[in-house]
A and B are shown apart, each in its own frame.
Chain A
Amino acid sequence: MSTVAGPIDRDRVGYQAVLLGGFAMIAAAMLVMGDIATRAAIEQRRAEDLLASLAQVIPADLYDNDLLADTLRLDTGDGELIVYRALEGLDVSAVAFETVGQGYAGPIQVLLGLDSRGRILGARVLSHTETPGLGDKIEVDRDDWILSFDGKSLGEPPAEHWAVKKDGGDFDQFSGATITPRAVVRAVKDGLELFAAQRDAFTASAVQQTAMDE
């Protein structure tokens, strides 16, 4: 470190290196502080967002538990799935989980809420990268289309009708965008099939689950 006496030669490589290194260190330290200061709040916001999405696909009168606390990790064959369980007492009254469809411009994440018999309580698109003005009608803020899944289940309508109208199914497509709604219908159907295949695991009552953990 240079002392106070004598002018610092600013053209020396040493000064430049210390300056640049010093700035990098200060920046790194500030980022760490910023991260520490905001981490708890951001985590809290994320939980609130998730809870708000869950509230849209599971009606509040179906549960008396903390949806974020009573989750279930399920092995689906290709990765782990987090299932949010709505409990009435100890019985599972509804579940919600994410299912993904391949859209026009990337994956479309759909949050699907089902009652214990596999009927759709609600579906919401969590994130997507579809074309603005065309494919974004899958968002509930922009169009009611996603509500057309409410009350449907795997047998109602029958399996071959789980497609957009263009493909002979029951669901509307959008003018100028068929791939996007097709992907969402597919994602929802995949979710329903997953639930049907592992229904016992999805709806295993909370008591059994605790017993298995122990």
Chain B
Amino acid sequence: MTEADKKPTPDWSRIAREGIWDNNVVMAQSLALCPLLAVTGTATNGLGLGLASTVVMVLSGLLVSLLRGIITPQVRIPVFVLIIALLVTLVDLGMNAWMHDLHRVLGLFIPLIVTNCAILGRAESFASRQAPLAAMFDGLMMGVGFTLVLVALGAMREVIGSGTLFADASLLLGESLSWLEVTLIPDYRGFLLMILPPGGFIAMGLLLAGKRLLDRRLAARREAKAASALPAGA
């Protein structure tokens, strides 16, 4: 809260960096693993869940931020849960009625968003303390970060598990993007383990290890630079 008081204008680039990399929902906060491991059998499914979650995250950020003056700390958690469940249900109904083709593909994932504790987490730790615009932007960036991980994980499992990439993307994104669908390994017999949930855990572990490794390299390089800059300046 003090941070927001000191800085009247939110630090946009920091919010973006936090959401996509430093404080990524999956890679840093280890939240939202239930829907993540359930749907990332293909990159397309990952993209679908990511997009749907992002929409809900932006909307819940907006609502929670607008209502932050009324909600007291004692009852905030049930109120946030109520808001998120309400939003998800309305999005589900609205999509089913007016965007039916998209709903046929994404419909499966929408109820899963309620199980995404990352949305509650952001409502609690960011949106309830920030101005509406900043809260929406944070929701968007967290959503983008989540989507990137979902697609990466989905792609990894899909390539190893079934030898394709973005299979059935045209069902989700329309015929114009059917060029995304690639069969990388023709006549591949498949590697079922990667498609089933255990494969999700394995891919997830590899991805996490990769990020840690990269972060450590970056930190080491930064330190080396600082160390080499010091004697030069002295």
Residues of A in contact with B (beta carbons under 8 Å apart): 10-11, 15-16, 19-20, 23-24, 27, 30-31, 34-35, 37-38, 41-42, 45, 48-49, 131-134, 141, 175-176
Contact = CB atoms under 8 A, between A and B. Distances in A.
Main secondary structure of the interface of B (DSSP, over half): helix
Interface residues on B, range: 20 to 34
B112 interface: no
A38 B96 contact: yes
A133 B195 contact: yes
A177 B209 CA distance: 34
Interface in B37-94: 41-42, 70-72, 74-75, 78-79, 82-83, 85-86, 89-90, 93-94
B103 to A, nearest CB: 8
Nearest to B89: A31
Nearest to A44: B97
28 contacts: A11-B72, A11-B74, A16-B72, A19-B70, A19-B72, A19-B75, A19-B79, A20-B75, A23-B83, A27-B83, A27-B86, A34-B90, A34-B94, A37-B93, A37-B97, A41-B96, A42-B96, A48-B100, A131-B195, A131-B196, A132-B42, A132-B195, A133-B162, A133-B192, A134-B192, A175-B189, A176-B190, A176-B192
Interface string B180-203: 000000000110100110000000
A30 B96 contact: no
Given A19-B71, A141-B171, A175-B189, 4 more contacts: A23-B82, A38-B96, A45-B96, A132-B195
Given A15-B72, A132-B42, A133-B41, A24 B82 contact: yes
